[in-house]
């Protein structure tokens, strides 16, 4: 029995009430055309109405694939009208056999009316259903947009916090402190790099876009500081063609990749490592990549907030026109590449305030 219960889903009190009202009204509307009493017509209309309603509900819910759903629904109204008319005959205590002979004409009229009013009710029902579905879709789209906005906001917040990591700042200052006493020229160089880095990093949170060249310069200052701090363990190569330096690029993404490369790529293994930053163009897209020669990513190690943050922001800025691709380096290490299609690069979703470095 339970297996069939699903057929009657949606058979709510509200629906029963609406059908009842329709039947009362239909009987009243037709009483002028017939010799029958109003009560007689009401019984017929209620019998036809309820039977059709039950069958229509079942037809709507029925899971089958042989016939399209609308065909089953139409069929349910026709059969419902016929059975309803028979039911009305039984209720009124009429001779059933007579219904197919001398009163067949009357039966046909009742059925026809049932089908007519049934079709009307169904039309209203289908219309309502479509409207509801439309509304649900709208609500979902709105929820998705709100979620996206929230993600972007969170990404921005994380970005601001990551801007200048205190750990990085204090460790660098400790190095400077020591160098001032032991090797003043180096201290001065390190301070210069730190200033260059801070100058590039601090105003970034107010901007939506900067340029390839400025991001590369900032990465260079950052790498210079780390190279001095880590001694011989870190080396880097910067391959950014002059022609690409003026191209707009979202801020603070490259530096995140460089930070990752140092943290996960070079630091853990105590041997020397090389970080290569490359900007290139081809196949209608701009590529900015950071490659390290570290241990590579273990399949079970976390992806970190940084990469998720970059993905969220790329999506918010360029939709599907940009992506972050992570690949294995040869023979070991990781290459992280941000690709921005030329079409969207010129006109990101969010307003860009990129200034050219020229």
Binding site for another protein (CB under 8 A): 6, 63, 65, 140, 166-167, 169-171, 173-179, 181-182, 228-231, 267-270, 297-303, 307-308, 311, 320, 323, 325-328, 334
CB of 307 to another protein, least distance (A): 7
Structure tokens at 303: 């992806």
Who's near 269: CB < 8 A, 6+ residues apart? 294, 295
Q: Which residues pair with 97 in a beta bridge?
A: none
b vs e for 159-174, b when ≥16 Cβ sit within 10 Å of the residue's Cβ? beebeeeeebeeebee
Nearest by Cα to 252 from 200, 300, 194, 295: 200
Residue with tokens 């009307």: 120
CB of 301 to another protein, least distance (A): 6
Q: Which residues pair with 280 in a beta bridge?
A: 287
CB of 173 to another protein, least distance (A): 5
* 162 CA to centre of own chain: 26
Task: Name the residue nearer to another protein (CB basis): 20 or 308.
Answer: 308
Who's near 170: CB < 8 A, 6+ residues apart? none
CB of 323 to another protein, least distance (A): 7
Task: Name the residue nearer to another protein (CB basis): 171 or 274.
Answer: 171
Contact between 85 and 114 (Cβ < 8 Å): yes
Task: Name the residue nearer to another protein (CB basis): 63 or 206.
Answer: 63
CA dist 162 and 166 (Å) reads: 9
Grouping H, G, I as helix, E, B as strand and the rest as coil, residue 63 is coil
Structure tokens at 212: 């390839």
Task: Name the residue nearer to another protein (CB basis): 96 or 330.
Answer: 330
CB of 354 to another protein, least distance (A): 26
Who's near 229: CB < 8 A, 6+ residues apart? 171, 172, 175
CB of 11 to another protein, least distance (A): 17
Q: Indicate the DSSP class of residue 348.
A: -
CB of 294 to another protein, least distance (A): 10
Task: Name the residue nearer to another protein (CB basis): 133 or 353.
Answer: 133
Task: Name the residue nearer to another protein (CB basis): 198 or 307.
Answer: 307
Task: Name the residue nearer to another protein (CB basis): 202 or 243.
Answer: 202
CB of 56 to another protein, least distance (A): 19
H or E element: which one contains 318? helix 304-318
Task: Name the residue nearer to another protein (CB basis): 229 or 287.
Answer: 229
Nearest by Cα to 288 from 256, 240, 251, 326: 240
């Amino acid at each position: 029995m339970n297996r069939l219960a699903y057929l009657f889903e949606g058979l709510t009190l509200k629906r029963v009430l609406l059908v009842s009202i329709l039947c009362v009204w239909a009987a009243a509307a037709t009483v002028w055309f017939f010799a029958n009493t109003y009560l007689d017509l009401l019984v017929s209309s209620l019998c036809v109405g309820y039977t059709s309603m039950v069958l229509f509900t079942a037809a709507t819910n029925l899971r089958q694939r042989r016939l399209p759903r609308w065909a089953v629904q139409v069929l349910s109204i026709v059969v419902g009208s016929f059975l309803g008319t028979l039911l009305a005959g039984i209720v009124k205590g009429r001779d059933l056999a007579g219904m197919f002979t001398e009163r067949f004409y009357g039966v046909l009229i009742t059925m026809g009316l049932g089908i007519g009013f049934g079709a009307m009710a169904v039309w209203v029902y289908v219309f309502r259903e479509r409207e509801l579905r439309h509304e649900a879709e709208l609500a979902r789209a709105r929820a998705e947009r709100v979620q996206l906005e929230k993600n972007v906001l969170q990404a921005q917040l994380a970005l601001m916090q990551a801007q200048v990591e205190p750990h990085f700042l204090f460790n660098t200052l400790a190095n400077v402190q020591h160098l001032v006493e032991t090797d003043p020229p180096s201290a001065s160089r390190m301070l210069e790099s730190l200033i260059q880095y801070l100058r590039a990093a601090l105003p970034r949170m107010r901007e939506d876009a900067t340029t390839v060249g400025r991001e590369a310069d900032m990465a260079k200052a950052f790498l210079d500081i780390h190279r001095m701090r880590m001694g011989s363990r870190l080396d880097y190569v910067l391959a950014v063609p002059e022609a690409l330096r003026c191209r707009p690029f979202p801020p603070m993404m490259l530096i995140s990749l460089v930070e990752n490369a140092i943290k996960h790529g070079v630091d853990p293994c105590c041997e020397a490592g090389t970080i290569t930053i490359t900007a290139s163009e081809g196949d209608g897209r701009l590529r900015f990549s950071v490659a390290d020669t570290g241990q590579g990513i273990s399949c079970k190690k976390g992806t970190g907030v940084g990469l998720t943050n970059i993905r969220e922001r790329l999506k918010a800025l360029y939709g599907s026109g940009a992506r972050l691709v992570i690949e294995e380096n040869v023979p070991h290490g990781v290459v992280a590449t941000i690709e921005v299609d030329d079409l969207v690069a010129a006109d990101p979703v969010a307003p860009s305030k990129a200034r050219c470095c020229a």
